[in-house]
Copies of this chain bind each other. A is one copy, B any other.
């Protein structure tokens, strides 16, 4: 029996997306509990390490393939935890993480994709975007940072950008971490209750909770408009942290495996080098 494809399982159907219909506590593709899920994640480490090293070797040998993981989600949805636990399984030499905050004036002047292009991963690397070009159709839409006409054009601009990126050899894995409004409340309460987590708490997050429905709606539009075959979206139920980590690790593995990378062949005469080494 072939294992299920996590990509297929987690990709929304073409057409309108109803986030409320996707269970934030669901565990599609996995039937075990938390303990089993954590163990399953750790068991993926050798596989992910092997696949990542092949990609790295490929890049070091002149190959152009690379992978970009786009992480989006509401505040407290666990982008940081995903990077720590799922991306953290990988060799840090092959990973570059870029977090996007509000664009500066200089960045805005250059168009919203400029800073995104600046941060794209090099050949052989996994790039991780903690927020991304999608903020320009999410936060920008909800907070009315620009006109509706501009927002409208951005969906197409993103699709074209991502197509160009994929054509150039970069695999794009887009993940929305999907949590419930109640789970967000519980996580914010935890940050308030634990003085070791006060630094993570931002009073602005409460203001944003009032915009919850608007943000969900903005996500639904982006999930519909930019769910292309070359760069599909994935919605990962994220109320259960262990499932979130496991699902993202599986998505990375599937996409790395699809690259079908062999170890680069020697570009030197192995026997001759062996003789030189013996005599050295």
Q: Which A residues have a C-beta under 8 Å from some C-beta of B?
A: 57, 60-61, 80, 83-84, 87-88, 90-93, 95, 97, 99, 130, 185, 188-189, 192, 195-196, 198-201, 203, 206, 209-210, 263-266, 268, 270, 273-274, 276-277, 280
A206's contact among B80, B206, B270, B280, by CB below 8 Å, is which?
B280
**Top 4 closest pairs, chain A to chain B, by CB:** A198-B266, A57-B199, A199-B264, A209-B280
Complex Cα distance, B261 from A93, in Å, reads: 27
* Shortest Cβ distance from residue A100 to the other chain B in the assembled complex, whole angstroms: 13
Q: Decide yes or no: A189 and B264 within 8 Å by CB, A83-B91, A91-B84, A97-B92 being known contacts.
A: no
- Residues in B whose Cβ lies below 8 Å from that of A270: 192, 198
- Residues in B whose Cβ lies below 8 Å from that of A88: 88, 91-92
* Shortest Cβ distance from residue A65 to the other chain B in the assembled complex, whole angstroms: 14
Complex Cα distance, B88 from A88, in Å, reads: 7
A-side binding surface: helix, strand, loop or mixed?
helix
Contact A189 B280, beta carbon cutoff 8 Å: no
Contact A273 B57, beta carbon cutoff 8 Å: no
Complex Cα distance, B203 from A60, in Å, reads: 15
* Shortest Cβ distance from residue A62 to the other chain B in the assembled complex, whole angstroms: 10
A195's contact among B263, B274, B280, by CB below 8 Å, is which?
B263
22 pairs across A/B with beta carbons < 8 Å? A60-B199, A83-B91, A84-B91, A84-B92, A88-B88, A88-B92, A93-B99, A185-B277, A185-B280, A189-B277, A192-B273, A195-B263, A198-B263, A198-B264, A198-B266, A199-B263, A201-B268, A203-B268, A206-B276, A206-B277, A209-B280, A210-B280
